[in-house]
């Protein structure tokens, strides 16, 4: 059977996308922007939104294409190129108020992840669609709903629709700064353990796998990740796979109306650090995908340790006796997290906190399903060593020290990551079994993965 190409998968996925109508991926396709805009937004005016860097990369061909298609344009909105544009809500407000009085005017952003999110949220808050011309394979959020934006130093994903159309010119994307390509690889590789987390939730009847949605992400995933050296070097052929893989993740999230297909425990490490504001004041700011890459190593290491456990030997009565009350869970969360993070995390953590018969049933369910979980998860996963090697090969951070996280803070993040989201992952299964802290101890013991790799120069 001939494998389905990435382009064919994108065309298939557009049939179930809730917001995105058309996507063009290829070489030398910037000149198709105008006709696409006119087709998707008939009769609308356009405002091109870019920063000085993205406009230099693709702006003039996009402007010329829009003019050639007869699209009426207003004065472009060009953000400064230096310092690096920050995904702050003040920039969303700036753009939103710039376009608010412009009736029948649609944003065509020329953007990587940050500016795409700014355009997405600014348009979404006005109830308007938008389109984007991608300038780097830096994130899986191009075709997804929601925008990761910081307000008062606190970065969270805010609700808004996905783009109505996308243009991805592979020549432009391959020429993007290497760090942007590396961060896109870090975002994409987390789909490996995220898939294992979804298998876990599926086997326990918590969140069944949708085979169609699963295939949108997992089908092209291994091939998209196959050659990190060529991807890191900006090889256009390898970059195509990364680009299409990240686009497919966004389309899968639209089809599922959830980020479950693309996000597991590895993302929760990144979300924890983002909520703590880590790296937001760097120049350039520490990207989402670079943090996710480290979370992927951590998630795969945790899975590796979990698969070595004798789950059948877990003493259910001892776990039940040691179970924390909701009040104890709340106190634990508030002690671990700052107040503004803890306020929401308490709700998630208490809702996940099983006791009594409910906990007994969960432990029994995990024990019963564990052989099937092992069978399905083992071929899905990569070892933490392989993930770290791939990240290093593509030029991405591969150890917490490479993103300024010391090992004490990193160890604590394993506990915090379980607290901040309702999604069921390996963090929660180990918590239900009373084994999360045991597994963390093993990981950081001299023979555990992090005990063997305490510093980046020892990997």
**Per-residue b/e over 258-278, b at no fewer than 16 CB within 10 Å?**
bbbbbbbbbbbbbbbbbbbeb
Same domain for 101 and 191: no
Asked if residue 422 and residue 326 are part of one domain, the reply reads: yes
pLDDT attached to residue 2: 34
The DSSP letter of residue 162 is: P
- Residues 294, 148 share a domain: no
- CA–CA separation, 221 and 223 (whole Å): 5
- CATH at residue 163: 3.40.50.1970
Q: Output helix, strand, coil percentages for the chain, rounded to the nearest 5.
A: 60, 10, 30
- Report if residue 83 sits inside a domain: yes
Residue 390 maps to a domain: yes
Instruction: Please say which residue of 155, 176, 197 terminates a domain.
Output: 176
Domain that includes residue 131, residue range: 6-176
**Would you state the pLDDT for residue 45?**
98
> 241 in a domain, yes or no?
no
Strands 130-134 and 147-151 come out as: unpaired
CATH code of residue 279: 1.20.1090
pTM attached to this predicted model: 0.95
Under a CB-based contact definition with an 8 Å cutoff, are residues 108 and 66 in contact? yes
**Do 93 and 186 fall within a single domain?**
no
Q: Give a yes or no: residue 307 inside a domain.
A: yes
Residue 265 neighbours by CB under 8 Å, 6+ apart: 193, 194, 197, 295, 298, 299, 302, 417, 425, 426, 427
CB 94 within 8 A of CB 74: no
Domains identified in the chain, total number:
2
pLDDT, block means (10 residues), the chain with 459 residues:
58 93 96 98 98 98 98 98 92 98 97 94 98 94 89 81 97 96 97 98 98 96 96 94 95 94 97 92 93 98 98 98 98 95 94 98 98 98 98 98 97 98 97 98 98 83
Predicted pLDDT at 458: 55
Can you tell me the distance from the alpha carbon of 340 to that of 441, in angstroms, rounded to the nearest whole number? Answer: 28
Instruction: Tell me what pLDDT residue 157 has.
Output: 85
């Amino acid at each position: 059977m001939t494998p389905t190409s990435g382009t064919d998968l994108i065309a298939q996925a557009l049939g179930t996308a809730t917001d995105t109508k058309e996507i063009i991926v290829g070489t030398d396709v910037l000149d198709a922007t105008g006709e696409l805009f006119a087709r998707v937004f008939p009769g609308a005016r356009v405002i091109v939104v870019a920063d000085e860097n993205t406009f230099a990369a693709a702006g003039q061909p996009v402007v010329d294409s829009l003019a050639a298609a007869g699209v009426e344009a207003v004065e472009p909105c060009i953000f400064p190129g230096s310092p690096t544009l920050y995904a702050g809500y003040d920039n969303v407000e700036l753009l939103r108020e710039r376009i608010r009085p412009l009736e029948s005017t649609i944003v065509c952003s020329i953007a990587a992840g940050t500016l795409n999110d700014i355009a997405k949220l600014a348009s979404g808050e006005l109830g308007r669609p938008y389109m984007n011309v991608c300038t780097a394979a830096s994130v899986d959020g191009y075709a997804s709903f929601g925008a990761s934006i910081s307000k008062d130093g606190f970065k969270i994903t805010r609700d808004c629709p996905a783009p109505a159309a996308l243009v991805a010119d592979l020549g432009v994307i391959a020429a993007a700064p290497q760090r942007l390509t590396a961060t896109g690889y870090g975002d994409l590789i987390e789909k490996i353990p995220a898939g294992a987390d979804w298998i876990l939730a599926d086997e326990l009847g918590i969140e069944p796998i949708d085979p169609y949605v699963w295939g949108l992400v997992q089908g092209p995933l291994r091939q998209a990740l196959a050659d990190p050296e060529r991807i890191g070097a900006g090889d256009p052929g390898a970059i195509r796979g990364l680009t299409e893989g990240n686009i497919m993740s966004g389309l899968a999230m639209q089809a599922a109306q959830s980020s479950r297909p693309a996000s597991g425990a590895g993302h929760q490490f990144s979300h924890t650090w983002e909520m703590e504001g880590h790296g937001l004041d760097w120049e350039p700011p520490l990207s989402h995908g670079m943090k996710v890459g480290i979370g992927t190593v951590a998630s795969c290491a945790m899975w590796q340790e979990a698969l070595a456990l004798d789950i059948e030997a877990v003493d259910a009565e001892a776990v039940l006796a040691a179970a924390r009350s909701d009040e104890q869970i709340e106190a634990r969360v508030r002690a671990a997290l700052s107040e503004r993070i803890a306020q929401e995390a308490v709700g998630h953590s208490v809702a996940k906190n099983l006791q009594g018969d409910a906990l007994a049933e969960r432990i029994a369910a995990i024990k019963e399903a564990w052989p099937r979980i092992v069978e399905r998860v083992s071929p899905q996963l990569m070892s933490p060593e392989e993930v770290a090697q791939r990240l290093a090969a593509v030029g991405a951070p591969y150890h917490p020290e490479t993103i300024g996280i010391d090992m004490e803070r990193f160890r604590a993040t394993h506990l915090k990551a379980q607290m901040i989201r309702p999604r069921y992952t390996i963090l929660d299964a180990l918590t239900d079994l009373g084994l999360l802290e045991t597994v963390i101890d093993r990981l950081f013991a001299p023979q555990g993965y992090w005990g063997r790799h305490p510093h980046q120069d020892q990997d």
